[in-house]
Amino acid sequence: MSENGSPFTGLGFFQSFFHGAGPGNAAPNVALDQYMRNVARCQLECQGLMSRRAQAYLELPGRVAACRTPQDLVKEQTIFWQTAFQQYAECSQKMMTSWAQLMSAPVAESKGSIKPRARDYLSFPEPQAEKKLPIREKEERRRVA
């Protein structure tokens, strides 16, 4: 809010996606608010995943250097890739959960201002039986003059 108590900060279009521009357009602001929150959640999850994977890659040379036998090396590689797949799965699950909540959440509508649209039905003509052409009694040939 600004100093005089107004929700407008003077930034115009870039004011804030999370604050409504006025009481007349509450429905678009709620939908935009939900969308922007999900975008922020997904970006946060991606950044967290990148951070965890970068940390794991930086720890890898130290772990490999501590290996004494080939079996230890295989064990470290297995742990590394299992952790990677587990972290990728968790991140994708959180992202899909966030988008599923957005798609199933009802969007607030203003009272009475939105009328249901008339349904558009496509109609196709019924197939008609083929018309039988009259059979010519004599074989007529067309001649070019």
pLDDT digits (tens, 9 = 90+) for 36-88: 888 888 999 999 999 999 999 999 999 999 999 999 999 999 999 999 999 99
Tally the domains of the chain. Answer: 1
Provide the 3-class DSSP secondary structure of residue 115.
coil
Is position 57 within any domain?
yes
pLDDT surpasses 80 at 141: no
Is position 40 within any domain?
yes
Helices 70-104 and 26-65 meet at what angle, rounded to 10? 180
Instruction: Report the share of the chain in percent with pLDDT over 90.
Output: 37
63 CB-near residues (< 8 Å, 6+ apart): 76, 80
The reported pTM is 0.52
Tokens of 140: 């007529």
How far is it, in rounded angstroms, from Cα 95 to Cα 41? Answer: 7
How far is it, in rounded angstroms, from Cα 69 to Cα 1? Answer: 64
Is position 121 within any domain?
no
Is position 11 within any domain?
no
What pLDDT is stored for residue 36 in this prediction?
83
Q: What is the pLDDT confidence band of residue 128, given thresholds at 50, 70 and 90?
A: confident
pLDDT: is 83 or 108 the higher one?
83
CB 38 within 8 A of CB 99: yes
Tokens of 80: 């590394």
Is position 41 within any domain?
yes
Is position 20 within any domain?
no
Average pLDDT over residues 11-40: 63
Q: What CA–CA distances, in Å, run from 58 to 27, 107, 130?
A: 47, 44, 77
What pLDDT is stored for residue 142 in this prediction?
63
Is position 59 within any domain?
yes
Distance of CA 94 to the CA centre of its chain: 13
Structural domain including 51 reads: 27-104
Is position 131 within any domain?
no
